[in-house]
Amino acid sequence: MRNENFGRRGALGLVRRRCAGGSGAVGAVWRPVAWSASGGNRPGRGNRVSDHRTITSYLIDMDGVLVHEDQPIPGADKFIKALEEKGLRHLVITNNSIFTQRDLSARLARAGIRIPPERLWTSALATAQFLDEQRPDGTAHVVGEAGLTTALHDVGYVLSDVDPDYVVLGETRTYSFEAITRAIRLIRAGGRFIATNPDPIGPSPSGPLPATGSVAALISRATGRDPYFVGKPNPLMMRSALRALDAHSEATAIIGDRMDTDVVAGLEAGLETILVLSGVSSREEANSFPYRPNRIVDSVADLLV
């Protein structure tokens, strides 16, 4: 079953229209339009999800929605192009804190998906923004990569391992015993423990890799302190992305592949939620959750029809 629509009628935002002056299939193009959700015609019991919303902005999860690792998901490039042609605001979001916006933009370009750096939002940027608001011009000891250190530098943070305000853990593929030991000692000495994202594992072509959440668990065990996780499913990540996009939650949809991060974070941040089945969560799994997305589609390609 494709394009299952909970409490919605009509196409999501993107409808097929013919070019002016075009004829037949040659003149047909896919164009997005702002999605007006009228609701009210859902069979069965009442439609409680918000009605009369016009969606003009999109937060789009990256892995499992636009790409699988470095491989594009079919239709993702056309979907992004369609949003651009219509002038619908969008931001691609990821819990991955390894890369800078420019790195990610280049990686997506290699997969044939053109997203300028300023249209990317990472858990590293959300973490830096959060710390800047909490304690401006502070100091941090970082276990992480350029995505995180660059983001912290950009908000005016000084990286230090002498009595830092925060110990910030991000994703890295080069965790060392020495680096983890230093983080543990600094936290035990009073450094506040922050982690960019809670994901226990990450994907790789050769199988799952331990990710930030797993290393955070190790540090928690050694310090007796749990970190504050900034990335998804913390709705803080969504709110910071909305600010970066200068968009309002009422007029914004999130498109994600995970019920336990994208959909719940979108729900809690007051966004319209769209689950794609091209990534982690299956339809069966989605139905087992105590909350549900506003809409489920096979992939972003289905949002073009």
Which residue numbers are catalytic?
61, 63
- CB closer to Mg ion out of 138 and 256: 256
Continuous H helices in 18-100: 76-86
Please give the residue whose beta carbon sits closest to Mg ion in the complex: 64
Query: Quick count: other Cβ atoms within 10 Å of Cβ 4?
Result: 15
Nearer to Mg ion, 94 or 252 (CB): 94
Whole-angstrom CA distances from 293 to 205, 241, 285 are 29, 19, 12
CA angle 175, 60, 261 (to 5 degrees): 55
257 and 281 Cβ atoms separated by less than 8 Å:
yes
Nearer to Mg ion, 61 or 171 (CB): 61
Contacts of 152 (CB under 8 A, 6+ apart): 127, 128, 131, 140, 142, 159, 168
Least separation in angstroms between CB 272 and Mg ion = 17
- What are residue 168's DSSP bridge partners? 142, 194
Quickly count: other Cβ atoms within 10 Å of residue 227's Cβ: 24
Shortest separation between residue 219's beta carbon and Mg ion, angstroms:
25
CB count, 10 Å around CB of 160? 14
Task: Please say which residue, 68 or 185, places its beta carbon nearer to Mg ion.
Answer: 68
Minimum distance, C-beta of residue 271 to Mg ion, in the bound complex (Å): 15
Smallest gap, in angstroms, from Cβ of residue 196 to Mg ion? Answer: 15
- Residue 202 CB, shortest distance to Mg ion, in Å, is 11
And the tokens for 271? Answer: 């966004």
Please say which residue, 95 or 172, places its beta carbon nearer to Mg ion: 95
In whole angstroms, the minimum distance from the beta carbon of 278 to Mg ion comes to 9
| Residue among 184 and 265 whose Cβ is closer to Mg ion | 265
- Contact yes or no for 8/270 (Cβ under 8 A): no
Residues that bind Mg ion (CB under 5 A): 61, 63-64, 257
CA–CA distance, 105 with 108 (Å, rounded to integer): 5
Q: Are strands 28-32 and 14-18 parallel, antiparallel or unpaired?
A: antiparallel
In order, the DSSP letters of 79-90 are: HHHHHHHHT-EE
Q: Taking the CA of residue 243 as centre, how many other CA atoms within 13 Å lie in the half-sphere pointing to its CB?
A: 9
